[in-house]
Structure 1
Amino acid sequence: MSTKIDKIDRLSELSAAKDDERGVSLWTEAFRRLRRNPAAITGAVILLLFVIVAILGPILAPFTPTDPSGIREGVVKSGQGIIPGPTGDHWLGYDHQGRDFFSRMLVGARQTLLVGVISTLIGLTIGALIGGVAGAAAGLGGRVGRWIDVVLMRIVDMLLALPSLLLAVSIAALLGASLTTVMIAVGMVSVPVFARLLRGSMLAQAGGDYVLAATSLGVKRNTIALTHILPNSLAPVIVQATLTLATAIIEAAALSFLGLGNPDSAIPEWGVMLADAQPYLGIRPGLAIWPAAAIIVTALGFTLLGEALREALDPKLRK
């Protein structure tokens, strides 16, 4: 009798210990793990600082980023190899056109963030549309569904067959040098990644028990695909979008470095600033070091947060 009572008490303790875990959604549970992950906290802090600088950059900038005051005052003579370094008023010195470099770094953060976010949204929107249609068509079955899936995936395979940077350069060269071109080119590079990922996730979810239950209840297949399978397949796509932001910033900087970005160098953007600094590396290496370091640190923040989010959402990688 006492043994049965002990077992009942033990079951009650286990049930009470798990009361706090009941009813917790996947995202809530993932957020709890993210708060305990040092890499996630580090990435979040970096991104928070980056966003604050991008939003408040024009307000925080001590000088007008397009004003060539150094040339006007005669302290900058880039043709003679004279580009002053940091001073009390100009913390990072001047650039080759006599503009305050610290102000340009602050204001350039907004353009860099804008390029990364919009290009990622372009790739996510088009890729999710292709992958969602292909995944739904493959999951619905039937001859028409299989043909739709095959055609869309062959288009995606054609995009994947080209190296990403070569594809971006080709698109940028066809459309002409501009900031909008950079966003479109970088966004199109990530389209096949999002399409493949969402399609594969939807096909994996199509074999779930909840799909079988909904089918047995007479729910239409189109409704199951849109209201059940698709929402449950978005978690890996969102994680990939976080990681893609990091590569988008680097690829946008690479296109600007190659001269395919904004042709107006007066508008500060880290990739353009890095390209403009190349002829003056022997005189002022800081003109290249600061924007390069900013791009690397920002990409690192997105990568740390994205990897931590992937671990938090993936049952096989949960700690």
Structure 2
Amino acid sequence: MTLVGRKKERIERLGELAGAPEERGRSLWQEALRRVRRSPAALIGAGILLLFVLIALIGPFFVPYSPTDPIGINSGEVASGRGIIPGPSAEHWLGYDHQGRDEFSRMVVGARQTLWVGVVATIFGLAIGSLIGGVAGASFALGGKWGKRLDGFLMRVVDIFLALPSLLLAVTVAAILGPSLLTVMIAVGTISVPIFARLLRGSMLAQANSDYVLASTALGVKRNKIATSHLMPNSLAPVFVQGTLTLATAIIEAAALSFLGLGNPDSAAPEWGVMLADAQPYLDIRIGLALYPAFGIIVTALGFTLLGEAMREALDPKLRK
């Protein structure tokens, strides 16, 4: 092929490329969602959570029996060792509990309370932690001398909370406020506050050295405007991912507080942690009373963990596959 022919062929190729449809770029969240959809772990976790949410929201309206009224055995005979606790049957899928109440109905209704406690506690911790971390990060990145002092003060307070074991801190808060469902939410939310604060502050400091912050500063944009309109929105992705992982921890911590007697004082109200505690004296009679709520707690926490880990890998460039 002559030189003229090669040039002509190149020109034709460039024309074809110019006429080809342009591929639209994807945002960070669109790309992360695409990667999550391809992750088997994320699909399994999402399936578990969808089933759990459906049971928690819709299940209590269709339970066959009251979760608080005894309908079967004499609890006094069981407590004295003269009776047995009937197991699963066609009418009672999970059998009775130690007071003659339908175990399946209590598990379904208890799922709603477990979900409610976990979600509210996580939102509480995320809101307070993001407020502290956002103020500290913006103060350090854009606030000058006094901003760094404010950041240092806030982070030392956060370090004090981080130095305490999470369960011990939750027990302390619950003991001060007294046993109640609201107490469990506040106690579990409190232990996640320093995690969210540290995470958001670190993300904002990493974003503070970006080119768009330098360009906004050069254009004369006010520092508070940069912090609220640029730094904060671009730093929230890892915080939301941590919120998904914290939901799993919140469910476990809430069950632990209820197990220790710091949750709902009404023992008749179905809650997985309380059910697990009530089953301890009857393990030799019927171990299933402890296995059912334990299995529910483990599987639900696993679902949140699988989905959260998949989201973290999808949003982190170093972990993308």
Task: Report the TM range for the smaller structure's normalisation.
Answer: over 0.9
What is the rounded CA distance, in whole Å, between the counterparts of 2:15 and 2:63 in structure 1?
A: 63
Residue-by-residue CA offset, 1:198-248 (whole Å, 9 max, x unaligned): 000000000001111111111101100000010000000000000000000
| CA distance in structure 2 between the aligned counterparts of 1:56 and 1:66, rounded to whole angstroms | 18
Q: Say whether the 8 Å CA contact 2:259–2:277 is kept in structure 1.
A: yes
Given that residues 76 and 96 in structure 1 are in contact (C-alpha distance below 8 angstroms), is that contact kept between their aligned partners in structure 2?
A: no
Residues of 1 paired with 2:267 and 2:15: CA distance? 70
Alignment of 1:8-87 (within 5 A): 9=13, 19-20=22-23, 22-71=24-73, 74=74, 77-79=77-79, 80-87=82-89
The reply on whether 1:146 has 2:148 as its aligned counterpart is: yes
Change in CA separation of 1:255 and 1:77 when aligned onto 2, cut-off 3 Å: same
Query: Offset of 1:263 from its aligned partner?
Result: 1.2
Report Cα offsets for 1:146-205 as digits up to 9, x if no partner. 111010000000000000011001111111111111110010000000000000000000
Rounded to whole Å, the distance in 2 between the matches of 1:228 and 1:96 is: 57
1:122 is aligned, of 118, 121, 124, to 124
Give unmatched runs, 5+ long, in structure 1. Answer: none
Q: Answer with 1 or 2: which has the greater Rg.
A: 2
- Structure 2 counterpart SS, 1:82: coil
Where in structure 2 are there 5+ consecutive unaligned residues? none
**TM-score normalised by length of structure 1:** 0.94
Conserved in 1, the CA contact under 8 Å of 2:279 and 2:290? yes
Q: For the residues of structure 2 that align with 1:128 and 1:31, how far apart are their CA atoms? A: 23
- C-alpha change, 1:218 and 1:247, in structure 2 (3 Å) is same
Counterpart of 2:181? 179
Deviation of the 1:77 alpha carbon: 3.1
Give the whole-Å Cα distance in 1 for the aligned partners of 2:61 and 2:320. Answer: 42
Instruction: Output aligned runs, 1:219-230, within 5 Å.
Output: 219-230=221-232
- 1:81 is displaced (CA, Å) by 3.9
% of aligned pairs identical?
70
TM-score (norm 2): 0.94
Q: Secondary structure of 2:189's match? A: helix
Distance 2:247 2:255 in 1: 12
Question: Could you tell me how far apart the structure 2 residues matched to 1:279 and 1:217 are?
Answer: 70
Between the aligned partners of 1:138 and 1:16, the Cα distance in structure 2 is 48
Q: In structure 2, what is the equivalent of residue 317 of structure 1? A: 319
Deviation at residue 13 of structure 1 after TM alignment: 5.2
The farther-off stretch of 4-13 and 306-315 is 4-13
Report how far residue 287 of structure 1 moved: 0.3
Q: CA deviation at 1:70?
A: 1.2
Q: 2:194 aligns to what?
A: 192
- Mapped to 2, the partners of 1:249 and 1:162 lie a distance apart of 20
Q: Name the SS for the 2:105 alignment partner.
A: helix
Q: CA deviation at 1:33?
A: 1.0
Cα deviation for residue 141 of structure 1 reads 3.3
Q: Which amino acid is 1:143 matched to? A: K
Cα contact 1:76–1:84 (8 A) shared by 2: no
Letter in 2 for 1:129: L
Contact kept, 8 Å, 2:137 with 2:201, in 1: the verdict is: yes
Whole-angstrom distance in 1 between the partners of 2:192 and 2:299: 21
CA contact (8 A) 1:93 1:101 kept: yes
Distance 1:115 1:271 in 2: 12
1:152-301 paired onto structure 2 within 5 Å: 152-301=154-303
Q: What letter matches 2:209 in structure 1?
A: G
Structure 1 residues 101 and 141: CA distance shift in structure 2, 3 A: same
1:60 Cα deviation after fit: 2.1
What is the letter of the counterpart of residue 69 of structure 1? I
